[in-house]
Chain A
Amino acid sequence: DQQVKQNSPSLSVQEGRISILNCDYTNSMFDYFLWYKKYPAEGPTFLISISSIKDKNEDGRFTVFLNKSAKHLSLHIVPSQPGDSAVYFCAASETGTASKLTFGTGTRLQVTL
């Protein structure tokens, strides 16, 4: 039972344009959501997070939007840079279990010149 889903396994975007990565979840108990970036042979690197009391959080070029009614979140990267090319994971946790993350399957982002 995949509680966190990233339906696009890959995405290709031109440098300077916006990258939008999507994530859907089914567990209503999730109240904290995170995005991680992962390069091959490295551990995931934390990018940005959002709690369920908010619908938007920004950090530089990265913005995460949360739509609780649709159980959907998205990560916007503007402008996209070649160094953003990596696998992006969406993750979620329930109240009181912030250290128990449920991950999506990942989206491979390629930013082309």
Chain B
Amino acid sequence: KAGVTQTPRYLIKTRGQQVTLSCSPISGHRSVSWYQQTPGQGLQFLFEYFSETQRNKGNFPGRFSGRQFSNSRSEMNVSTLELGDSALYLCASSGQGSYNEQFFGPGTRLTVL
């Protein structure tokens, strides 16, 4: 079974631009979560999508948004990029059930100049 895939793996943008990152979950997984990893803040939860609906949301500004498609693939968008948005963005998918491990993709390394 293929794992979680994320594209692109690396991205360089300038301040003020916007960016869209993509995530394809493990086949059969309907939940997709996004995390941001930075040296200062560690791994922080952004949001989770399940069956095309945002189910949980972390404490990030509205510049961070996401969506999920009917095939469970998900995208996250960051508008008006700031230098502090430079981070590794990780996507994770999980199956149904109350307790299900999340399986992470390799991440997208975003650098904002």
Contact = CB atoms under 8 A, between A and B. Distances in A.
B99 A103 contact: no
Contacts, number: 63
A43 B45 contact: no
A99 B31 contact: yes
A43 B4 contact: yes
A51 to B, nearest CB: 6
Which of the four size classes fits the interface of chain B?
20 to 34
Interface in B5-31: 31
Given A43-B90, A44-B90, A97-B56, A103 B102 contact: no
B100 A98 contact: yes
Contacts of B55: 99
Which of the four size classes fits the interface of chain A?
20 to 34
A105 B99 CA distance: 22
Contact of A34 (B56, B101, B106): B101
Given A32-B99, A41-B106, A103 B42 contact: yes
A45 B101 contact: no
Interface string A75-113: 000000000000001010000111111111110000000
